[in-house]
Structure 1
Amino acid sequence: MARGGIMLSGLSRWSDASLLLMRLVVGGFLIFGVWDNITSAERMAEFAGFLAKWKFPFPELMAPLSVWAQFACGAAFIAGALTRWAGLLCAIHFIIAILMVDRFAGIRGSFPAAALVVIGLHLATAGPGKIAVDAMFGGRRR
């Protein structure tokens, strides 16, 4: 069989491009998800009310903390900067979302947050790939 054959090992040459694509899509999604809270005090207050409803401690503090953490993760993923730290923060952030809220929505309701946990853990362990700010400073995966 041709090199790569049935195992499609030739596709591995695109791993850095696929990591970049994943970082751009997920980072954009994270930023899009909180942009209304960042640009509108009313939406931020609604989010604080949502957190209060779900019995989060200090919802007026936790709402902006959650929003800015998600925004920071998104920006870091897009740039490929501090990617491993952003991956850990993303995973922790969405584990909390699952434990506090999404678990009551069942598997389908929890899936988006669970996917973000897995993606965060993947980026924390694999790093951003070669097409990233981190790669310029020796942080690329081996």
Structure 2
Amino acid sequence: MRNWLFLTPLAKAGDLGLLPLRWVTGAFLVWQSHDNIFSAARMEEFVGFLGQFHFPLPELMAPLCVWAQFLCGIAFILGLLTRWAGIVTTFVFIVAVWMVHWPQDFPGWWPALILVFLGILFATLGGGRYALDTRFEPKRNA
């Protein structure tokens, strides 16, 4: 009875729940960064955006940020180096919340804040059973 009250059987599908979460998070990161990678004009706009928010060295920070998001997105989609991608995503979006979204109201924070916590989730849980990481990670003793 208690298993059904707390829906304990759903815990067996946790890895299956991580899979679409990784895919949609990764797809979002790739989607929001690809235009800056493939267009010099869009990258220049982003450099200006970072300058407007007083980022140090925006000419360096813009490509670093964009490539970090793009590569983390691919890593999440593949489930490869998922924990590293989670750490990098967490860092990038903590900086985004602090430098860009801080003066906004809570709904303005929401997209970047969710990416902070998704980064923490993937950094701590990894990619799950259906990630490429499982092929390369050392096996833990049971």
TM-score by length of 2: 0.94
What is the rounded CA distance, in whole Å, between the counterparts of 2:30 and 2:139 in structure 1? 24
- Distance in 2 between residues matched to 1:87 and 1:116, nearest whole Å: 9
Aligned: 1:28 with 2:30: no
Change (3 A) 1:133 1:60: same
Name segments (4+ residues, structure 1) moved above 4 Å: 139-142
Instruction: Give the equivalent residue in structure 2 for 1:78.
Output: 77
Q: In the alignment, what sits opposite 2:62?
A: 63
RMSD of aligned alpha carbons: 1.6
- How many Å apart are 1:106 and its aligned residue? 1.6
Could you tell me whether the CA contact under 8 Å between 1:130 and 1:140 is conserved in 2? no
Give the conservation status (yes or no) of the 8 Å contact 1:76–1:83.
yes
Paired with 1:140 and 1:119, the residues of 2 have a C-alpha distance of: 25
Distance of 1:51 and 1:126 partners within structure 2: 32
2 CA distance for matches of 1:37 and 1:133?
27
Give the C-alpha shift of residue 17 in structure 1. Answer: 1.0
Instruction: Answer yes or no: is the 8 Å Cα contact 1:134–1:140 preserved in 2.
Output: no
Partner residue in 2 for 1:125: 124
- Ranked by relative contact order (alpha carbons within 8 Å, sequence separation 6 or more), the top structure is 2
**Matching residue of 2:134:** 135
- Structure 1 segments unaligned to the other structure (5+ residues): none
Whether the aligned pair in 2 keeps the contact of 1:127 and 1:140 (CA below 8 Å) is: no
Letter in 2 for 1:121: I
How many positions carry a matched residue from both structures? 141
Check conservation: 1:91, 1:116, Cα contact below 8 A: yes
Report the TM-score, using the length of structure 1 for normalisation. Answer: 0.94
Map of 1:31-110 to 2, 5 A cutoff?
31-110=30-109
Alpha-carbon separation, structure 1, partners of 2:81 and 2:99: 27
Any unmatched runs of 5+ in structure 2?
A: none
